């Protein structure tokens, strides 16, 4: 999601079928000028430092980010999802499969002839869209993962494919009215610390809940590559979707920060493919700063306000709860830390 989108606006309370839409504020790109400004910044300037790899797709953009590692970006849709193909001597691992708007297998087959398995950074629909197309799926053994393996219906993901969520028209032949996330079959379970051996390259699974119950990172220690999924990326990091846990997120941020001194590159799942590992130290410190700020609780009414907390700005904006089936009120609070921001939900007492 674009870095400039730091304000989360009020919307109608979601129905159970559309609660995923509440993860992505529907008013993010309201107005043609805003959409044009976002599209004019695509691809982001950080991609210019990477080597573009020809790909048989007009939808996916492929970049070499390290030896044997490819970023597969979907920069024409507002999520700006980035999946990663990690190639070993015997097999390859696809870390996330994207939105499912187009078939990612076409690109993967052009990049490697080795057998390809999938492991997801988590099972939100923007990362599992093409899981169905692969025969071998590694997954954490969580109830959340198993539930999401059944897919997401159109009503839950329809907001992702409205015209204002694309740069230009949707891909030719893509049915926005019938878009949904297909179910997939988990074939192998892994846990925290599991090693996936690709031949000549080993990656370690790190279970880092917080953004989602099954949030995971991959650590390629030999090459100094840390794949962080949605626990860190340059942009607004959401800690409020269904299943999010702020305390767990803080612990996971600390765990990633501990690896920063040994990491050469951070490879995230949105917006920018290669980030400075030092940003993980900033993430850890930012989460601690937010925790201190939140001890006072949400302030003010449902009108947008700005508060200065130390060196940081907090924007507090009204929003209904994202817990479907309830009437409680809450606000989404964005804490801005420059290269990234943190978005939390706060319950509003007495509402």
Digitized pLDDT (tens) for each residue of the chain, 351 residues in all: 332 223 332 222 222 233 344 344 333 334 556 777 888 888 899 999 999 999 999 999 999 999 999 999 999 999 999 999 999 999 999 999 999 999 999 999 999 999 999 999 999 999 999 999 999 999 999 999 999 999 999 999 999 999 999 998 999 999 999 999 999 999 999 999 999 999 999 999 999 999 999 999 999 999 999 999 999 999 999 999 999 999 999 999 999 999 999 999 999 999 999 999 999 999 999 999 998 877 655 544 433 444 444 444 555 554 444 444 444 567 788 899 999 999 998 766 544
Q: DSSP per residue over 9-72, as a string?
A: PP-PPPPGGGGGGGGS-TTTT-SHHHHHHHHHT-S-GGGGGSEEE--S-SS-EEEEEETTEEEE
Q: Which ranges constitute the DSSP H helices of 196-328?
A: 246-259, 278-294
How high is the pLDDT of residue 306? 44
How high is the pLDDT of residue 8? 34
How high is the pLDDT of residue 28? 39
Q: Which tokens go with 106?
A: 């076409």
Whole-angstrom distance, CA of residue 321 vs CA of residue 330: 5
How high is the pLDDT of residue 33? 60
Q: DSSP per residue over 53-70, as a string?
A: E--S-SS-EEEEEETTEE
The domains of the chain, with CATH numbers, are 16-296 (3.60.15.10)
How high is the pLDDT of residue 201? 98
Whole-angstrom distance, CA of residue 144 vs CA of residue 212: 9
Q: Using alpha carbons, select from 164, 198, 208, 160 the residue that is nearest to residue 29.
A: 164
How high is the pLDDT of residue 328? 56
The string over 193-225, giving b where at least 16 C-beta atoms fall within 10 Å of a residue's C-beta and e elsewhere, is ebebebeebebebbbbbbbbbbbbbbbbeebeb
Q: Which tokens go with 97?
A: 């499969």
**pLDDT tens-digit series, residues 229-261:** 999 999 999 999 999 999 999 999 999 999 999
Which residues have a Cβ under 8 Å from the Cβ of 301 and sit 6 or more positions away? none
Q: Which tokens go with 225?
A: 């590559």
Q: What's the whole-model pTM score?
A: 0.87
């Amino acid at each position: 999601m674009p870095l400039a989108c730091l304000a989360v606006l009020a919307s109608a309370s979601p129905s159970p079928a559309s609660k995923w839409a509440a993860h992505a504020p529907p008013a993010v790109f309201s107005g043609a000028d805003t959409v044009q400004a976002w599209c004019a910044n695509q691809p982001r300037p950080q991609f210019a430092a990477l080597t573009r790899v020809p790909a048989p797709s007009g939808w996916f953009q492929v970049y070499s980010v390290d030896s044997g590692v490819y970023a597969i970006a979907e920069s024409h849709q507002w999520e700006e999802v980035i999946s990663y193909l990690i190639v070993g001597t015997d097999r390859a691992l696809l870390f996330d499969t994207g939105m499912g708007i187009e078939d990612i297998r076409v690109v993967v087959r052009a990049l490697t002839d080795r057998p390809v398995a999938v492991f997801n950074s988590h099972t939100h629909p923007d990362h599992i869209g093409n899981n169905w197309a692969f025969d071998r799926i590694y997954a954490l053994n969580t109830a959340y993962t198993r539930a999401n393996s059944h897919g997401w219906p159109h009503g839950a993901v329809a907001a992702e494919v409205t015209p204002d969520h694309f740069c230009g028209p949707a891909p030719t032949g893509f049915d926005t009215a019938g878009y949904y996330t297909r179910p997939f079959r988990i074939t192998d379970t892994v846990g925290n610390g599991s090693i996936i051996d690709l031949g000549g390259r080993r990656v370690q699974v790190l279970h880092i809940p917080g953004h989602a119950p099954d949030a995971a990172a991959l650590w390629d220690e030999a090459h100094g590559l840390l794949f962080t999924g949605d626990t860190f990326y340059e942009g607004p990091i959401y800690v409020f979707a269904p299943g999010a846990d702020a305390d767990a997120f803080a612990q996971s941020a600390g765990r990633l920060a501990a690896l920063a001194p040994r990491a050469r590159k951070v490879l995230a799942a949105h917006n920018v493919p290669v980030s400075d590992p030092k940003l993980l130290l900033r993430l850890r410190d930012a989460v601690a700063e937010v925790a201190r700020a939140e001890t006072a609780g949400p302030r003010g009414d449902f009108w947008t306000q700005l508060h200065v907390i130390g060196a940081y700005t907090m924007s507090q904006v009204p929003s209904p709860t994202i817990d479907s089936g309830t009437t409680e009120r809450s606000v989404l609070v964005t804490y801005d830390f420059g290269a990234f921001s943190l978005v939390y939900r706060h319950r509003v007492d007495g509402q």
